[in-house]
A and B are shown apart, each in its own frame.
Chain A
Amino acid sequence: MKTSSFKYAIKALQIFIAITLVIGIAIVVHLLYTGRVYSFITAPALMKDNFEIKSGILVLLNLAFLIPLLIGINSLVKTIPYFEKQNYFAPVISKKFKLSSKAFIFSGIAALILQFISPLIENSRVVVGLGMKSLLYLFILVVGFFFGFLAQVFTKARAMEQENDLTI
């Protein structure tokens, strides 16, 4: 895949997440304010007859974990110009990868924890297992670890490149 198309794909994903976040927060705030339930919303917490504040908070928390995801993707987008200029060893690349890694790991772990505690809070039941959603959060977590590893590799590569440049 060309770098420019990759850049557009990441930008599109970023916009999609941002729109989901804004619409999601707007809907939850509206529901909390009016107490009305809309049938087109598929989130289980919003399908209840009486929309409770704790459910709203859980959905808001779920949406809040999209923010670090957005930060992570945004910092990945910022590395693309350096790759386009073939400036692979710029220190900013490893910094941005590290930031993405932290954001993805935080988002993944927080979402997984929330996935576990939300049925506990809502229905007072413990759900243990891996659903599709948990697998997605696990994937985000793994991607976070991957970018952490990549940040280490780029830091090492930069040190080696510097050493190579300073070998006369």
Chain B
Amino acid sequence: MPILINLDVVLAERKMKSKELAEIIGITTANLSILKSGKAKAVRFSTLEAICKALDCQPGDILEFVQD
């Protein structure tokens, strides 16, 4: 998929673990793993908002468009 998820990079920059983020935004670690691995088909605005709030970043920091 041409949309990349840079959640790993942002988490590393914030020195935050996936488990912590999952707890803060209220999703399961399994779902966060699906999101990180790029297997997710869609992201809810509410989830994106929660991630951006928790990591203090912009949606563009997490999502990236790459030409195939």
- Chain A contact residue count (CB 8 A cutoff): 5
* B-chain residues with CB within 8 Å of residue A5 when the two chains form the complex: none
CB distance from A157 to the nearest CB of B (A): 15
DSSP majority for the A interface?
mixed
Is there a chain A Cβ closer than 8 Å to B35's Cβ?
yes
Is there a chain B Cβ closer than 8 Å to A167's Cβ?
yes
**CA–CA, A162 to B42, complex, Å?**
11
Is there a chain B Cβ closer than 8 Å to A163's Cβ?
yes
Is there a chain A Cβ closer than 8 Å to B47's Cβ?
yes
- Residue of A162, A163, A167, A168 most packed against chain B (CB within 10 A): A168
Closest to A163 in B: B41
Is there a chain A Cβ closer than 8 Å to B14's Cβ?
no
* B-chain residues with CB within 8 Å of residue A167 when the two chains form the complex: 40-44
Is there a chain A Cβ closer than 8 Å to B27's Cβ?
yes
User: What are 22 residue pairs bridging A and B, where the CB atoms are less than 8 Å apart in the complex?
Assistant: A163-B41, A163-B42, A166-B34, A166-B39, A166-B40, A166-B41, A166-B42, A167-B40, A167-B41, A167-B42, A167-B43, A167-B44, A168-B27, A168-B31, A168-B32, A168-B34, A168-B35, A168-B40, A168-B42, A168-B43, A168-B44, A168-B47
Query: Besides A168-B34, A168-B44, 12 other CB < 8 A contacts?
Result: A162-B41, A163-B41, A166-B39, A166-B41, A166-B42, A167-B40, A167-B41, A168-B27, A168-B32, A168-B40, A168-B43, A168-B47
